[in-house]
Structures are given as structure tokens and as C-alpha cells.
Amino acid sequence: MEHPPLVALVGNPNAGKSALFNALTGARQKVGNYPGVTVERHSGRLALADGRPVELIDLPGAYSLDPSSPDERVTRDVVTGKSGLERLPDALIVVVDAANLDNHLRFTLQLIALGLPVVVALNMIDLAERDGLTLDAAVLERELGVPVIPTVAVRRRGLEDLREALARAVVPVTGVVPLRPSDGSVQDDIVTLQRRARRIATAATVAETSGRRWMHLLDAVALHPIGGPLLLATILFVMFQAVFTWAKIPADAIDAGFAGLQGLVAAHLPDGFLRSLLADGLIAGVGAVVVFLPQILILFLFILVLESSGYMVRAAFQMDRLMATVGLSGRAFIPLLSSFACAVPGIMATRTIEDEKDRLTTILIAPLMTCSARWPVYTLIIGAMIPDTQVLPFVRLQGLVMFGLLLIGIAGAYVAALVLRRTVTKGASSGFMMEMPKYQVPRLGDIALGLWQRALVFLKRAGTTIAATTMVLWLLLSFPKPPVGSGISPVDYSIAGRIGHGIEQVVKPIGFNRDIALALLPAMAAREVAVSAIGTVYAIDDSDGKGTDRITDQIRGRWSLPTALAFLMWFVFAPQCISTIAVTRRETNGWKWPLFMVGYLFAAAYVMAGITFWLATFAGL
Amino acid sequence: MRRTVIDNQSHCAYTGLVLSKLNLETLPRHHAATVDAIDWTRLSPPEARRLRELGFDEGVPVEVLHRARLGGGPIACRIGRMTVALRRAVAAAIQVTIPLPAE
């Protein structure tokens, strides 16, 4: 098959590479993974000025061809053509931040030296001009010996010129085998390159006044020794508040939609196996999970805005001191914050952490952040078992318990990191050295695209993993049927009931009953399945028709408070998520660390749930 | 300009300015300075490389912008046209010079 020419976007972090990629390819892009490494591969189609199509890939940002993190390694391997992950690009678009030439030109010089056709995109030229910087692209072109196109990716400026320059750079194959570029191992010393870069930057700078007063003003607050932490705490508070309040209306709408669907099925199908499977199994199970889509999207909205505005690194700056006390760095804060939405993207975000031990520790504690899959479980149990009394002005007991569980997770992560860094991930404390990107107003389209991609991943999961688990559980719970008139509960008689009975023996000492034992197994697929699992258990158990008690009433009737508290504590720690285990295996290249993670988290969950149960029992709750 | 305690003062023979030898950790905020020397032996190889990649080099202008909370939080400094966050131990390995007007 004839491949279109391959063009790679390369550049320093914060050069506006992804914005340029979005501007050039629009929404016609594919997000995949490079095999063997979990670095996301973004690719899309682009038409050159002469109409030829090319495939454009967006490579991870890097400072040099001397990689210090897994994603920088992918960049090096692709542009030097020795990756095996990708064919050698036919041309490179090197993206540089016009306001940061002395630094970005060094990497540009390294890339030009590789010998591939290069077009330089002098990006964010508008911000540079606003900063009082006047640049001469012609001088830059002469000094570098490659075409230089001024662009403003977010305003779609300079894209036509870029397409034209690229059309000239991507030469049609003439039958001559192109020379393989050098492998980048024989490089000029970094200092020499840096000095040359600075000389070129100075030559290309026509005028320079010190600008960016507004940015310094923002940093005066964000990086202030007292104001900064306060600002961060406020942002986090607003974020979690928004997740619970803004999501209510869309979540209720989704809930109503699924209830309507269930009603529709009930009305149009005859009573029996198929109706029960669809209504009680599939629709109820998937619906119980999809309800949380608004919350997840709101959380991701905050994270995407914090990231693209440039604030996230300031937050990392403020958190560094605290993280250093457990042997981590402020850099770990970013993946850990993402883990509040979902540990999977959180763990994938650790690939920007350079130090291997740091990265491993962050991966191992990421599942302790209260991910959105726990909220359905917490909401259900708290709603059923904790009275909604006012304990303080504006503070209700239910909210307080929810917040307490969140804090226990963070405290657990803190202790775990402390212990891990002194035992299995022992090593010199790594440093914290990060470039702070310029503040910028996030572009609506880029945020929307990011949210769309997250929503798609979530819905795909709900439609496959969660739907399948719920259906299998429903089947295992429904068969075999007890003999008519035997008086045996249909759940106890079913295959699942017998498996649950076995699990119950193990979890009895920590106060768990049969229903919980039954829910724990399918919840391995995804935590939120516990909710639909308990719902299914009671729906089937109740099929002899005493009434259609709501699931909360069922729990209230069958569970004691110590049992409920122990169950909540279990979910703070238990590593019940196949996706997290799978992504950990991929990220750590083997089964050793995911197995360790599962082991230590289950042990912690068992011990903590047991302590909770017995303390609550002795306290007479 | 606020008076600051400065160690290691010496007069420059040609300009008569007081040059003070400081490192980036002790450099007072908002004083334009230049990197004098970097003690690479105090840094791990990856730290040293990243520091070079971020543009730290002899003769480059630097300025301390912010310090995180008291008690050893990181430092934010301007180097070239970038803002970079560093830990104090790394900052201490970067010797800087600030020209001060003669008394």
C-alpha cells in the first residue's frame, strides 16, 4: 500500500505544538498509542498547498535529542528513524516559540543537523510582539538555512504559508534512496549549540523591550508564598464543589433518560428472561455508570483549563515542598490531580516524570486518589446509611463523610509514598526543575476536543467492559433457578451466590455480608459496577415480589452501620479496576509492579476496613 | 533599593562598582544578575543536563522572581525569556554576580 508522505511536528514543550497540530488537522485526528510504550500517538491528515495529502504526526515535546523521559525517547527515536514504531518522516515541522528563541533554537539546530527537510514554524509571533519583541524572520531563515514561517496557531495565522513551504520541502520520491540521517549520537556539545542559538536569536531580534507585565502580575499572586497556596486551595475547592453541584442537572437528565428506556423495554417486551436481562441487567447497569459522565467531564474541564492556561506548573511549584517530604517532587502533583478524575490518564501522565523511582512511586499511589468511579459507590452508601444532619453551618454530615473519605485517600497516598520511598522505590530524592509556560487564555476548540476524546473513552468503556460485566453477573445470579417452593433465595442458589458464599468467608472478619461479597468480584472490572451489582442482587432476590423497594431502602434494611463504614473504607484503598492494573503493566513493562500494587492496596483495604468495622462496633454505632 | 546583606564584596578595579559574589539561592529577589559559574560537581548528571537545556550558562542574565513558602520551597527565576522553577540545592550551585552602585 502506498503511504502518503509522513511529516512530524517537533519542538520544545510549550512551543504551541499541539495547538498548531489541531489547527492544521482540525478534528480529523486519530489518538492511538505507540506499541510497547504508552506515549500517545496523535496523527492526522493534511493537504499541502499543491493538493498532495500528507500524514502529520505530533511528537511529544522535548528539549534535546538526549532523552530524559519515555516520551522524549519516542521523539528522538522517530526523528532519527530508529524507532521501529514509525517510518522515518519525510520532513519535519520544527515549532519554536517566537518569544523564547534563544532556548528553542538549540533544539532546532540539533534537528536541522539530522539532515531531514525542515520547515520552522515561528509560532506565537503575536504574543512575542505583544511582549515588545520584534523579530526578523528573514535573518532567522538565513542563519538557519531552512524556511521560517511566522505562525499563530490559535488564530489560524500563517497556516497557508506553512502548507506552501511544506509542499516545497516534501520532495516527491525520485527513485533515489534517501540518505539515512545521522542517529543524533554525535552531537555538538549542548553548550556550544546553546551559544550558537543565542547568537542567532540576538541577530534575528530587531527590537526588544521588557514586556509581559501582566504575566508577572499573575505570577505575583500564583507564586506568592502565602497567596499562592491560598489560590491553589481555592481553585481545588471550587473544582470539587463544581463537580458535585454543576453535574446535578445533566446527571438527573441522563438518569431520567435511562429510566425512560427501562420503562419502554418493560412496556414493549413480554415479562420474562429477555425483558429482565435488558431492563434489570443491561440498561440498569450501564445507566448506573453513564450517570457519572457529567461529573467526569466537569473534572476534566478543570484539569484541561488548568493545564492549557499554564497554571498547572505553578500549582506544582507550590506543592513541591510538601511532595519533597515524602521523596517526590512537585511534578508528581499533576498526574495525581488528574487521578481524581481517573487513575488511567493520571498514570499515563507520569511519563513526563524523568526520575524512574519517582515515576514508579507516583504510579503506585495514583489509585489512592478518589477517582470518579468511587463516587457512585460513596454516594449510594452514604445516601443510604449516613443521616443528612447539619453539623455546622453550611456543613452537612453526608458531605463531611464524603470529604473525609477523599482526605483518607490522600493521607493513605502520603503514607504509602513515605514507606515506598524508603523501601521498594528507594533512591536519591530527585529534583524539581521545570519551565513555567506562559499564561494564555485556553482556546475553546482545543478544550472541547479534549473533553470529546475523554467522553468517548468513557462511553466506550461503559458500553463494553461495564455492559459485559453487568450482563455476566446478571446471568450468574439468575441461574440455576432454585426448585419451586423450596424457599431458598434465588441469589443463594445461583452460581454467583455460591461464589459469593466462598468470598464471604474471607471478608466476614471485616464485617462484610453476602451482598458485599457478591459485589466485590464484578467490581474488579470497574469500581462503579459495585453499585449496579448490589442493585442486581436485590432485584433478583426480590423477584418473588414483596415489593419494589429502592436499593437504598434495601441497604438500610440489610446492612449495619459498621458494615457500611467498613465497605466505604475498603473502596478508599482496594485496587478494583482492571484498566488501572493494565495501564500499570504497560507503563512499567511487566507484571511485577502491577502485582505489587494490587497486593499492597488489597492488604491496606482489608486492614483498614477491618479496623473501621471493629472500632465502629465497639463504639456501639 | 532595599539594602541587603551581602557577603564576599570586592571592588572592581576598573569601574569602581561593588561586585558581590552570591549564588542563586541567596540572591535577593528582583535584582538583575548574571550567571558567573556553575558548580557542576554539586549536581547529578541529569540535573546538570536539564539545567544546561534550560539555558543556564556563564554570562546569562538571571533574576529571582519568587520563592515558595518559607522553609526551603523551590525558587522561580527568570532566565533569558523563560521562567524556570528550581530547588534551592540546585540554585545554590549557581554562582551569580550583581553589580551594585558604589557606596
- Partner residue opposite A225 with nearest CB, options B70, B82, B85: B70
CATH topology of domain A6-211: Rossmann fold (3.40.50)
* Residue in A with minimal Cα distance to B43: A431
**A363 and B CB contact within 8 Å:** no
Domain ranges of chain A: 6-211
Q: Do A320 and B85 touch (CB under 8 A)?
A: yes
From residue A254, how far is each of A260, A281, A296, A506 by CA, in Å?
A: 10, 17, 14, 37
Can you tell me the ipTM of this complex?
0.81
β-pairing, B75-79 with B82-86?
antiparallel
The answer to whether A316 faces chain B, any CB pair under 8 Å, is: yes
pTM for this one?
0.79
Neighbouring C-alpha atoms within 13 Å toward the C-beta of B86: 29
Contact B34, B59 (CB under 8 A): yes
Minimal C-alpha gap between A436 and chain B (Å): 5
For B55, which of A102, A220, A355 is closest by C-beta distance? A102
Q: Give the distance from residue A216's alpha carbon to the nearest chain B alpha carbon, in angstroms.
A: 9
| Residue B102 touches chain A, beta carbons under 8 Å | no
Which stretches of chain A drop beneath a pLDDT of 70?
Answer: 1-2, 27-40, 83, 172-188, 209-213, 429, 542-549
Contact A42, A29 (CB under 8 A): yes
Burial of B28 by CB count in 10 Å (0-12 exposed, 13-18 middle, 19+ buried)? middle
Tens digits of residue pLDDT in B34-72: 998 999 888 888 888 888 888 888 888 899 988 876 667
- Coil, strand or helix at B64: strand
- Structural fold of domain B12-100: SH3 type barrels. (2.30.30)
Respond yes or no on whether the N-terminal peptide bond of residue B45 is cis (omega within 30° of 0): no
**Contact status, residue A616 vs residue A386, Cβ threshold 8 Å:** no
- At B11, is the secondary structure helix, strand, or coil? strand
The C-alpha cell that represents A280 in the structure block: 434489570
Q: Give the largest Cα separation in chain A, rounded.
A: 93
pLDDT value at position A213? 66
Q: What is the 3-state secondary structure (H, E, C) of A493-550?
A: HCHHHHHHHHHHHHHHHHCCCHHHHHHHCHHHCECCHHHHHHHHHHHHHCCCCCCCCC
Chain B partners of A63 at a C-beta cutoff of 8 Å? 50, 53-54
Kindly report the three-state secondary structure assignment for every residue of A546-610: CCCCCHHHHHHHHCCHHHHHHHHHHHHHCCCEHHHHHHHHHHHCCCHHHHHHHHHHHHHHHHHHH
Min Cα–Cα distance to chain A from B1, Å: 19
- Return the C-alpha cell found at A78: 522517530
Segment A62-91, tens digit of pLDDT? 888 888 777 788 889 888 887 677 788 999
Q: Is B61 on the interface with A (CB under 8 A)?
A: no
Q: Out of B53, B76, B89, name the one closest to residue A317 (CB).
A: B76
B65: phi then psi, degrees, rounded to nearest 5: -95, -50
E strand or H helix that includes residue A17: helix A17-25
Instruction: Choose among B55, B67, B74: nearest Cβ to A432.
Output: B74
B16, pLDDT greater than 90? no
